[in-house]
Amino acid sequence: MALPVDEPATRPYRVTFVCTGNICRSPMAEWVFRKVVEDEGLDGLVEVDSSGTEGWHRGKPADHRTDAVLRAAGYETGHAARRFDATWFPSYDLVVALDSDHLRELRRRAPDDAGRAKVRLLREFDPDADDDLDVPDPYYDGPEAFEEVLTLIESAAPGLITHIRSHLTTAP
Protein backbone atom coordinates (compact mmCIF):
# COMPACT_ATOMS: atom_id res chain seq x y z
CA MET A 1 0.00 0.00 0.00
CA ALA A 2 1.45 3.37 -1.01
CA LEU A 3 1.75 6.18 1.52
CA PRO A 4 -0.03 9.47 0.81
CA VAL A 5 2.04 12.01 -1.15
CA ASP A 6 2.18 14.43 1.76
CA GLU A 7 3.40 11.82 4.24
CA PRO A 8 6.74 13.17 5.59
CA ALA A 9 8.43 9.77 5.27
CA THR A 10 7.79 9.69 1.51
CA ARG A 11 9.47 12.93 0.53
CA PRO A 12 11.87 15.56 1.80
CA TYR A 13 10.74 18.73 3.52
CA ARG A 14 10.53 21.27 0.70
CA VAL A 15 11.26 24.98 1.10
CA THR A 16 11.30 27.68 -1.56
CA PHE A 17 12.48 31.27 -1.31
CA VAL A 18 10.53 33.89 -3.25
CA CYS A 19 11.44 37.45 -4.24
CA THR A 20 10.26 39.54 -7.19
CA GLY A 21 12.26 38.50 -10.26
CA ASN A 22 14.19 35.52 -8.85
CA ILE A 23 17.58 36.94 -9.78
CA CYS A 24 18.84 38.64 -6.59
CA ARG A 25 17.45 37.85 -3.13
CA SER A 26 15.75 34.49 -3.57
CA PRO A 27 18.60 32.75 -5.43
CA MET A 28 21.01 34.11 -2.83
CA ALA A 29 18.82 32.70 -0.04
CA GLU A 30 18.55 29.41 -1.94
CA TRP A 31 22.32 28.92 -2.21
CA VAL A 32 23.01 30.03 1.37
CA PHE A 33 20.37 27.68 2.68
CA ARG A 34 21.51 24.78 0.51
CA LYS A 35 24.89 25.08 2.25
CA VAL A 36 23.24 25.22 5.67
CA VAL A 37 21.25 22.06 4.85
CA GLU A 38 24.44 20.32 3.72
CA ASP A 39 26.45 21.50 6.76
CA GLU A 40 23.67 20.30 9.08
CA GLY A 41 23.69 16.82 7.49
CA LEU A 42 20.15 17.21 6.16
CA ASP A 43 20.86 16.41 2.50
CA GLY A 44 18.05 14.24 1.24
CA LEU A 45 15.76 15.36 4.06
CA VAL A 46 15.39 18.98 2.98
CA GLU A 47 15.10 20.32 -0.58
CA VAL A 48 15.68 23.99 -1.33
CA ASP A 49 14.87 26.10 -4.39
CA SER A 50 13.66 29.57 -5.32
CA SER A 51 11.36 31.50 -7.62
CA GLY A 52 9.90 34.97 -8.17
CA THR A 53 6.46 36.51 -7.98
CA GLU A 54 7.04 37.85 -11.50
CA GLY A 55 8.29 36.12 -14.63
CA TRP A 56 10.33 38.94 -16.16
CA HIS A 57 13.64 37.05 -15.99
CA ARG A 58 12.37 33.51 -16.62
CA GLY A 59 15.26 31.24 -17.63
CA LYS A 60 17.94 33.88 -16.97
CA PRO A 61 20.83 33.40 -14.55
CA ALA A 62 21.06 35.23 -11.24
CA ASP A 63 22.25 38.83 -11.32
CA HIS A 64 26.04 38.88 -11.70
CA ARG A 65 26.33 40.79 -8.40
CA THR A 66 24.42 38.01 -6.61
CA ASP A 67 26.83 35.43 -7.99
CA ALA A 68 29.87 37.58 -7.14
CA VAL A 69 28.79 38.05 -3.51
CA LEU A 70 27.96 34.36 -3.13
CA ARG A 71 31.29 33.22 -4.61
CA ALA A 72 33.26 35.71 -2.50
CA ALA A 73 31.59 34.26 0.61
CA GLY A 74 32.35 30.66 -0.42
CA TYR A 75 28.92 29.63 -1.68
CA GLU A 76 28.07 27.83 -4.89
CA THR A 77 26.06 29.52 -7.61
CA GLY A 78 24.06 28.47 -10.64
CA HIS A 79 20.52 29.46 -11.35
CA ALA A 80 17.71 29.82 -13.89
CA ALA A 81 14.96 32.24 -12.84
CA ARG A 82 11.37 31.04 -12.73
CA ARG A 83 8.01 32.39 -11.66
CA PHE A 84 6.23 30.92 -8.64
CA ASP A 85 3.09 29.08 -9.70
CA ALA A 86 0.21 28.85 -7.23
CA THR A 87 -0.32 25.21 -8.19
CA TRP A 88 2.99 24.48 -6.43
CA PHE A 89 1.62 25.23 -2.94
CA PRO A 90 0.76 21.58 -2.16
CA SER A 91 4.30 20.46 -3.00
CA TYR A 92 6.00 22.85 -0.55
CA ASP A 93 6.12 22.70 3.21
CA LEU A 94 7.37 26.28 3.55
CA VAL A 95 7.25 29.24 1.16
CA VAL A 96 9.68 31.91 2.37
CA ALA A 97 8.98 35.46 1.20
CA LEU A 98 11.83 37.95 1.16
CA ASP A 99 9.69 41.01 1.87
CA SER A 100 6.18 41.95 2.95
CA ASP A 101 5.01 42.63 -0.63
CA HIS A 102 5.96 39.06 -1.57
CA LEU A 103 4.25 37.78 1.57
CA ARG A 104 0.99 39.52 0.66
CA GLU A 105 1.16 38.43 -2.99
CA LEU A 106 1.91 34.80 -2.16
CA ARG A 107 -0.85 34.63 0.44
CA ARG A 108 -3.23 36.18 -2.10
CA ARG A 109 -2.30 33.48 -4.64
CA ALA A 110 -2.60 30.62 -2.15
CA PRO A 111 -5.51 28.31 -2.94
CA ASP A 112 -6.61 27.93 0.67
CA ASP A 113 -5.81 28.59 4.34
CA ALA A 114 -3.28 25.73 4.40
CA GLY A 115 -1.37 27.36 1.55
CA ARG A 116 -1.47 30.78 3.19
CA ALA A 117 -0.13 29.29 6.43
CA LYS A 118 2.96 28.02 4.59
CA VAL A 119 4.05 31.55 3.65
CA ARG A 120 6.45 33.21 6.08
CA LEU A 121 8.93 36.07 5.96
CA LEU A 122 12.59 35.03 6.06
CA ARG A 123 13.53 37.53 8.76
CA GLU A 124 10.85 36.12 11.08
CA PHE A 125 13.46 33.45 11.77
CA ASP A 126 16.15 35.97 12.83
CA PRO A 127 15.85 36.57 16.59
CA ASP A 128 17.85 39.79 16.23
CA ALA A 129 15.65 41.27 13.49
CA ASP A 130 14.03 44.58 14.27
CA ASP A 131 10.46 45.52 13.35
CA ASP A 132 11.37 45.78 9.64
CA LEU A 133 11.35 42.16 8.49
CA ASP A 134 11.94 42.95 4.82
CA VAL A 135 15.11 41.95 3.02
CA PRO A 136 15.66 45.03 0.82
CA ASP A 137 15.88 44.69 -2.95
CA PRO A 138 19.52 45.35 -3.93
CA TYR A 139 18.89 45.43 -7.68
CA TYR A 140 19.15 49.22 -8.14
CA ASP A 141 22.08 49.61 -5.75
CA GLY A 142 25.76 48.71 -5.71
CA PRO A 143 27.65 45.68 -4.43
CA GLU A 144 27.34 46.78 -0.79
CA ALA A 145 23.56 46.29 -1.01
CA PHE A 146 24.09 42.69 -2.14
CA GLU A 147 26.49 42.16 0.76
CA GLU A 148 23.85 43.51 3.16
CA VAL A 149 21.30 41.07 1.71
CA LEU A 150 23.74 38.20 2.26
CA THR A 151 24.23 39.26 5.88
CA LEU A 152 20.47 39.37 6.50
CA ILE A 153 19.97 35.95 4.90
CA GLU A 154 22.82 34.40 6.88
CA SER A 155 21.41 35.89 10.11
CA ALA A 156 18.04 34.22 9.54
CA ALA A 157 19.44 30.84 8.47
CA PRO A 158 20.04 29.32 11.96
CA GLY A 159 16.48 30.08 13.07
CA LEU A 160 15.08 28.75 9.82
CA ILE A 161 17.00 25.47 10.05
CA THR A 162 15.83 25.09 13.67
CA HIS A 163 12.23 25.62 12.53
CA ILE A 164 12.61 23.05 9.76
CA ARG A 165 14.28 20.50 12.06
CA SER A 166 11.28 20.74 14.37
CA HIS A 167 9.06 19.66 11.45
CA LEU A 168 11.16 16.71 10.31
CA THR A 169 10.05 13.28 11.42
CA THR A 170 13.57 11.86 11.28
CA ALA A 171 16.40 14.39 11.63
CA PRO A 172 20.01 13.55 12.37
Spatial contact of 133 and 12, defined as CB atoms under 8 Å apart: no
Spatial contact of 72 and 38, defined as CB atoms under 8 Å apart: no
Residue from 24, 25, 65, 67 carrying the catalytic annotation: 25
Residue from 14, 101, 116, 137 carrying the catalytic annotation: 137
Residue from 19, 24, 34, 63 carrying the catalytic annotation: 19
Nearest 5°: CA angle at 65, between 61 and 68? 95
Active site residue 24: no
Active site residue 39: no
HEC letters along 101-167: HHHHHHHHHCCCHHHHHCEEEHHHHCCCCCCCCCCCCCCCCCHHHHHHHHHHHHHHHHHHHHHHHCC
Active site residue 116: no
Task: Find all residues with CB under 8 Å of 43, minimum gap 6, and list them.
Answer: 37
List the catalytic residues. 19, 25, 137
